[in-house]
Structure 1
């Protein structure tokens, strides 16, 4: 099959392209760097023309109140191009529990993206993943100073980017779900404890202070970002750190 992977040069997209091509498909990466702009629409018609499946892995450049506009415009443009090009399946990547955290602009924006896809004219699949292991370094910078890192005890089920990519590639190569598949890592941690594990592995002497008001994940109420009924990926956090 022929795949157009929009956002195909990024962390997940580049690995999806690799996995699909390794499986014998023809997957072509598209991004701003290759002349495809999902906001202006430039290059989109040409990128998806002749593709059986479009995998959209583009992401908003910000996580604030501007993110819903990005996903609305990009999805409207993408679906118009896909319909014109005869695409038979559109796949996006979203977040486990996104619909449970309306306090976060970015999570609301991802739900909007899902809703636009589900209401559109083309069979679709939504892959929802738990938090990427690769994002932990960024999380540790949000509320840090010289001696401490403040983190809430939000339950997190970290998943490796390579496992996310493998799951997206598998879904993309299969029949449309016309629904959602949740994927997650094999373990659940409190975010503050995950911070301590990460700093200890790096030999970082800073102390993690549990603070339920600190950072983006402070807006998360309860255990909504994990799913033990999800398809569990194989990579454990300690193995990923190593």
Structure 2
């Protein structure tokens, strides 16, 4: 089966392409690096020719509110139109847990628009909403740091290893469309400030972390329900501490 992975050069995309190839499928890593651009449509029709499945894991190069909306809206419209023309039978996207709830975030509003476009396209689809990746915790800390102090919300998160998200996407891509949304999360909820302390301790970073209920998460006010999944998500098996031990070694 030919499966085109849009964003196939990124964190999730590379693992997904490798996994699909190991399973014996023709997985095409499509990104601007490989001459395929969903925003400009460069190489898009050629890449999708003969494809049965498209998996869109591309991310916006800018998180600025207007730019991120334009990226997801334009790329999704182009991908869906190209998919219909090519006879694609399953359109899969990676979205974010909280995209339908956290309206203060320009990024999450843009992901909600992407989800809506997919649902209205007429193409059979599956949407996988994932919680935050372990691999992104460093960027969250950086965004909340000023004068060597990280001020972060104590709201619960339920982060997951990127590889487990890629594995779930591979399974979804190789099965029939669900025409619905699936959530995936890590095995345990952790307050964001505690998550940051664990990460910094494992890294040997002396920065202090202050819990602040008013601290925003990339522009959004969050609480325990904002970025955690609903009642019956798929759960990964890797715990955050195990991932830290693997990344940094036991200290």
Q: TM-score, normalising length from structure 2?
A: 0.93
Deviations 1:32-78 (A, max 9, x none): 01111111111100011100101111111222322112111111111
Alignment match, 2:54: 54
Judge conservation of contact 1:133–1:159 (CA < 8 Å) in 2.
yes
CA RMSD of aligned residues (A): 1.2
Equivalent of 2:240 in 221, 225, 237: 237
- Segments of structure 1 that go 5 or more residues without pairing to the other structure are none
Instruction: Give per-residue Cα distances to partners, 1:81-105, cap 9 Å, x unaligned.
Output: 1111111111000011211101111
How far is the alpha carbon of 1:2 from its aligned partner?
A: 1.0
Distance 2:89 2:148 in 1: 53
Shift of 1:199: 1.1
Residue aligning to 2:19 = 19
- Contact 2:153 2:217 (8 Å CA) reproduced: no
Residue 216 of structure 1 deviates from its aligned partner by: 2.0
* Kept after mapping to 1: 8 A contact 2:216/2:222: no
Structure 1 residue matching 2:151: 3-state secondary structure: strand
Residues 168-215 of structure 1: per-residue CA shift (max 9 Å, x gap): 111011000100111000011000011111111112112111122324
Secondary structure at the counterpart of residue 173 of structure 2? helix
CA–CA distance in 1 between the matches of 2:148 and 2:119?
46
Task: Tell me what 1:188 maps to.
Answer: 189
Is the CA contact 1:152–1:211 (under 8 Å) kept in the aligned structure 2? yes
Moved over 4 A (4+): none
In the TM superposition, residue 146 of structure 1 has moved relative to its aligned partner by 4.3
Q: How many residues align?
A: 242
Structure 1 position 145, deviation (Å):
3.3
More deviation, 208-217/137-146: 208-217
Unaligned runs of 5+ in 2: 246-251
Q: Describe the SS at the equivalent of 1:33.
A: helix
Alpha carbons 1:133, 1:160 under 8 Å: kept: yes
